[in-house]
Amino acid sequence: MNKLYIGNVSAEASEEDFETIFEQWKIPHSGPFLLKTGYAFVDCLDEKAAMKAIDVLSGKVELHGKLLEVEHSVPKRQRNCKLQIRNIPPHMQWEVSANCFQGGAPSGSPTGLPFSGLWSHLKLNGSMMENYALKVSYIPDETASAEGPPAGGRRGFGARGPPRAGSPGLGARPKDPIIIPLRIMVPTQFVGAIIGKEGNTIRNITKQTHSKIDIHRKENAGAAEKPITIHSTPEGCSSACTTIMEIMQKEAAETKFTEEIPLKILAHNNFVGRLIGKEGRNLKKIEQDTGTKITISSLQDLTLYNPERTITVTGPIEACARAEEEVMKKIRESYESDMAAMNVSIKYNNVNQLTSDGKFSLIQSRQSETVHLFIPALAVGAIIGKQGQHIKQLSHFAGASIKIAPAEGADPKLRKVIISGPPEAQFKAQCRLFGKLKEENFFGPKEEVKLEAHIKVPSFAAGRVIGKGGKTVNELQNLTCAEVVVPRDQTPDENDQVIVKISGHFFACQLAQRKIQEILAQVRRQQQPKPSSGTQTPQPRRK
């Protein structure tokens, strides 16, 4: 694919200008420049010349006051939704194939250009990530037919391709798989072997397994073990984990390390009970099926800053790999179950209710929730991102409205983030915010991110959240490990609502929020008027 598309071309540009530029940068081309209004095409001698043109010209060379945008010209029939992102930081995934960013092409874009995703990815091409200039290009669909549609007649199903997902007759679009990272602990003395010389080993693992691997070397300074987080599909996580175990085994043999090296998986305490199962049945079955021995760290090791327990698997590498698959399968099932439970309170839509005057009204439950999350004031720039890009992407990813409230006071230490959306959107948005604060080192390497969240409840329901003698709120704190406070002597706002304060790590905050929303849903159901006794509820007339 040696044909190049040159965009953002000035109306004053000529073929001689392009000849001069390509000659100046010593980029060989095999044909004349095809100059159109606002863009141009040219054929390079080979792929090496084409890549050189993209690397040295795109976003860097100016012609008549406009920075040129140079990219592979992808034939219309071979366009797909995949990009190749190169030159990203070594500790991240070396090569990424990802869906194009959403966004339409500018009005009046010529039909011969690559499709609308190009306009987004040209902005990404050359942008900086941790002092690395990203290089973005299309991955053409090599399986696409090179032939045009059959001559004559209207194009049929074959020419147009299969119907789009979500089209009538095909049912709903399938949900994206839930991606839960795999976290493992490895002996500190093997971290260097896992990374490899100049990061080559870890880079090869990420490339082969299509995963992103974070080795938290700075955490727990001087500790005998370091955590590793693997982000990928379940298969990618398992493949990367197996490779890491093999590297450790090889390094142990070379250094004459005689102790057994078990696989240690980290899992949040919320999921461990279901992994063990009633009377330990689930865990025993995994042990029997895989031929391994599995132990789980004590509850006494848990703290507010460390809600994870260590699952230690001993046995041959192949057996440990199978056990890891089964353990993570149970954890993912638990996570999906929790996510489904979060949506229980919003399934009261389109319910016919009888009003006090005997008439029917269509009542829809309040699906959207608003949470005020307080973050360090110094972190606002990182959350917003350059030109607001990070907060926009976060909002799009989570499906929630995310806004930073104006600063209150002369020198505020905290800033309020207003998040509005359904429970699943709240979970995604808050999860990313907690994670971003950790990534940007706003919290120390040994401490977990702990934030305060405020939710508003009707003043008449505040007593139900507190419970008789504080029983409900105390049970809530014991169950979730979060600090839950309903400040006394609050003056209800204009909507007759008061604030409930929730403080803790991410999962603690989430669980507390969901439990409080369950209490509110129960209160709302009890507040709904009931038909008088002996009166049969009329059925709505069918049209």
Please determine, for residue 389, whether its predicted confidence score (pLDDT) is greater than 80.
yes
Task: Work out the average pLDDT over 325-333.
Answer: 92
Q: Which stretches of 8-90 are DSSP H helices?
A: 15-24, 47-57
Mean of all residue pLDDT scores within the chain: 77
Task: Work out the average pLDDT over 415-443.
Answer: 89
Q: Which stretches of 196-268 are DSSP H helices?
A: 200-209, 234-254
Two structure tokens written together for 486 = 């309903």
Q: What is the pLDDT of residue 82?
A: 59
- pLDDT grade for 334, boundaries at 50, 70 and 90: confident
Q: In 197-307, where do the E strands start and end?
A: 212-215, 225-231, 263-268, 293-296
Q: What is the pLDDT of residue 356?
A: 34
Classify 3-72 by CATH class.
alpha beta
Task: Work out the average pLDDT over 401-417.
Answer: 87
Burial classification of residue 110, based on how many CB atoms lie within 10 Å of its CB (0-12 exposed, 13-18 middle, 19 or more buried): exposed
- pLDDT grade for 168, boundaries at 50, 70 and 90: very low
Q: What is the pLDDT of residue 351?
A: 36
pLDDT tens-digit series, residues 254-311: 888 888 899 999 998 888 989 999 889 999 999 999 999 999 998 877 664 567 899 9
Q: What angle do CA 419, 422, 427 make, to 5 degrees?
A: 65
Percentage of residues of the chain with pLDDT beyond 70: 71
What is d(CA 152, CA 119) in angstroms, rounded to the nearest whole number? 33
Two structure tokens written together for 314 = 């001993």
Q: What angle do CA 493, 494, 495 make, to 5 degrees?
A: 90
Q: What is the largest distance, in Å, between two alpha-carbon atoms of the chain?
A: 93
Question: What values do phi and psi take at 373, rounded to 5?
Answer: -110, 130
Q: Return the number of other C-beta atoms located less than 10 Å from residue 426's C-beta.
A: 27
What is d(CA 343, CA 331) in angstroms, rounded to the nearest whole number? 19
Q: CATH fold of 182-341, please? A: TATA-Binding Protein (3.30.310)
DSSP bridge partners of 369: 421
Q: Check: CB of residue 196 under 8 Å from CB of residue 202.
A: yes
Q: Return the number of other C-beta atoms located less than 10 Å from residue 206's C-beta.
A: 25
Q: CATH fold of 369-526, please? A: TATA-Binding Protein (3.30.310)
Task: Work out the average pLDDT over 479-490.
Answer: 87
> Are both 182-341 and 369-526 of the same fold?
yes
More confident: 116 or 321: 321
Q: How many helices (H) and strands (E) does the chain have?
A: 16, 25
Q: Is the pTM of this model over 0.75?
A: no
Where is average pLDDT lowest: 197-206, 346-355, 450-459, 523-532? 346-355
Beta-sheet strand order (sheet of 308-314): 212-215, 225-231, 182-187, 263-268, 308-314, 293-296
Please determine, for residue 10, whether its predicted confidence score (pLDDT) is greater than 80.
yes
Please determine, for residue 369, whether its predicted confidence score (pLDDT) is greater than 70.
yes
Q: What is the CATH number of domain 83-143?
A: 3.30.70
Q: What residue spans define the domains of the chain? A: 3-72, 83-143, 182-341, 369-526
Length of the chain: 543
Q: Check: CB of residue 457 under 8 Å from CB of residue 500.
A: yes
Q: What is the pLDDT of residue 151?
A: 41
Q: Return the number of other C-beta atoms located less than 10 Å from residue 382's C-beta.
A: 17
pLDDT tens-digit series, residues 66-92: 888 888 776 655 545 556 666 666 655
